[in-house]
Amino acid sequence: MKRIKIANSDLNVSEISLGCMRIAEMSQPEIARLIHTALEEGIDFFDHADIYGGGQSEEKFSAALDMNPTLREQMVLQTKCGIRRGFFDFSKEHILNAVDGSLKRLRTDYVDVLLLHRPDALVEPEEVAEAFTILESSGKVRYFGVSNQNPMQIELLSKYLKQKILFNQLQFSITNTGMIDAGINVNMEIDPSIDRDGGILDYCRLKEITIQPWSPFQYGFFEGVFLDNDKFPELNAAIDALAAAKDVTNSAIAIAWILRHPARMQPIVGTTRPERVKEICKASDIKLSRQEWYEIYRAAGNTLP
């Protein structure tokens, strides 16, 4: 497993992260096998959120592993807060309470990374700054980031923060390429030229913010996976041909396509099957050529100007 150095930090982490959203419905032995397989394959970065499974994903994660200091030091734990039932909440009080809850459920004294989970329209950045400073000075959180935010939202927060925003978690996959489409189709009067996110891809590269693609196998907004899906015959034919040529699975090719981008993204994979974790991790050993990358991009239904 290749590793990436996260700018403005001492984090040197696996370039693939394991998302833990779906583990709440698994048994403890199943969770333990999944996490230990990931560790054996070189994944040391685990993504959580306080809302996953209503908190059960965090709780069952630590219980299944019988979390202890030795094991904890082998991991980089990331969690998120800010989504509440029916609204978003970036208030100082909620951020502090949410982190305390996550720490208790994860059986740890600190998390390596805290992300604000989707934008809060009523955000008061001064309160966020106060919360972050308390969390950092108390040792409860080492680094900070955001999720699904555009450049100006990050700029607004950054005006008040003492800490750097290190991560931005964004939806991105072979079939969800809006932040790439706009850059390819500049100065064109067509739908793919519409910049819907304020140039977030280039902004993150300029600011050395690591993009964490979520749902890298999904199309639409949780509409299903595109791999082995009859709705995407041309795309799957292109992926399968590359997978056969490189002796890997289609899942590995889908992740290798993301890793090929020079932004040095860190995809979050949410599989719950240890065997698939092993298949996906082979993506770290693959570097697609430019021609192969664009072939997949076009097979997904995109056209080049």
Bridge partners of residue 143, in order along the sequence: 113
215 phi-psi bin (left φ>0, alpha ψ -120 to 50, beta other): left
Distance CA 218, CA 79 (A): 21
Find the radius of gyration of the CA atoms of the chain.
19
Instruction: Please say if 52 is a catalytic residue.
Output: yes
Which residue is catalytic, options 52, 143, 203, 219? 52
List, by residue number, the catalytic residues: 52
